[in-house]
């Protein structure tokens, strides 16, 4: 990692991005996602079914990172706002890679998210590789860990994401 900019070196091991309460979770938002993936799980849709399991309907776990992403526009917004994996975009910019893709994800699911909740997100940079040749162009791999907590600090989930940042050859 000797070739990394000092700024990026200073990020390793730290919660570089902390996002507090960007949106309030609401049911119709997650049902739009369920419609997109055609997921009819009654825990997401059916209040009376959910009552005996989760007290109320819950949001799909796959959407946990979505609740840390700001609206694409809001009054007074400047720049890009907070994107779903803001630290990933900060790394792309700091390392001058116009492109980036997710290569692997590991999620551990804890307490489910319900309507009215908001989510606190901590993004921690774990590592950045040296530059290497990839089939998409020269690039680097990096890993970001994310801790998701409810507004009352209850743990919702843990995530580890591996990325490839690259520029066209």
Shortest spacing between CB 13 and other proteins, in angstroms: 23
Q: Which is nearer to other proteins, 10 or 80 (CB)?
A: 80
Distances (CA, A) of 69 to 20, 46, 151: 10, 26, 15
Give the residue with the Cβ less far from other proteins, 34 or 124: 34
Positions in the binding site for other proteins (CB under 8 A): 23, 29, 32-33, 35-39, 41-43, 49, 52-54, 60-63, 65-67, 69, 72, 83-84, 98-99, 101-112, 136-137, 154-155, 161-162, 166, 168
- Judge contact between 83 and 92, C-beta under 8 A: no
Query: To the nearest whole angstrom, how small is the minimum distance from the Cβ of residue 73 to other proteins?
Result: 10
Closest CA to 149 of 18, 7, 54, 10: 18
Q: Report whether 151 contacts 21 (CB < 8 A).
A: yes
Residue 12 C-beta: closest distance to other proteins, Å? 23
112 DSSP 8-state letter: P
**Residue 96: left if φ>0, alpha if ψ -120 to 50, beta else—which one?**
left
CB of 35 vs other proteins, minimal distance in Å: 7
Q: Which is nearer to other proteins, 2 or 74 (CB)?
A: 74
Nearer to other proteins, 69 or 123 (CB): 69
Q: Considering Cα of 55, then 145, then 104, then 169, what sign does the dihedral take?
A: positive
């Amino acid at each position: 990692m000797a070739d990394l900019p000092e700024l990026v070196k200073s990020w390793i091991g730290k919660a570089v991005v902390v996002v507090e309460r960007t949106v309030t979770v609401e049911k119709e938002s997650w049902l739009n996602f369920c419609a997109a993936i055609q997921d009819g799980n009654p825990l997401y849709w059916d209040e009376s079914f959910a009552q005996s399991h989760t007290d109320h309907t819950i949001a799909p776990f796959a959407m946990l990172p979505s609740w840390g992403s700001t609206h694409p526009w809001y009054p007074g917004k400047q720049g890009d706002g907070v994107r779903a994996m803001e630290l990933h975009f900060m790394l792309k910019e700091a390392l001058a890679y116009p492109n980036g893709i997710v290569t692997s994800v590991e999620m551990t699911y804890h307490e489910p998210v319900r309507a009215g909740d908001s989510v606190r997100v901590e993004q921690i940079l774990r590592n950045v590789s040296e530059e290497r040749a990839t089939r998409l162009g020269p690039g680097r791999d990096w890993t970001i860990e994310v801790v998701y907590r409810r507004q009352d600090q209850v743990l919702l989930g843990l995530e580890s994401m591996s990325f490839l940042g690259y520029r066209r050859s």
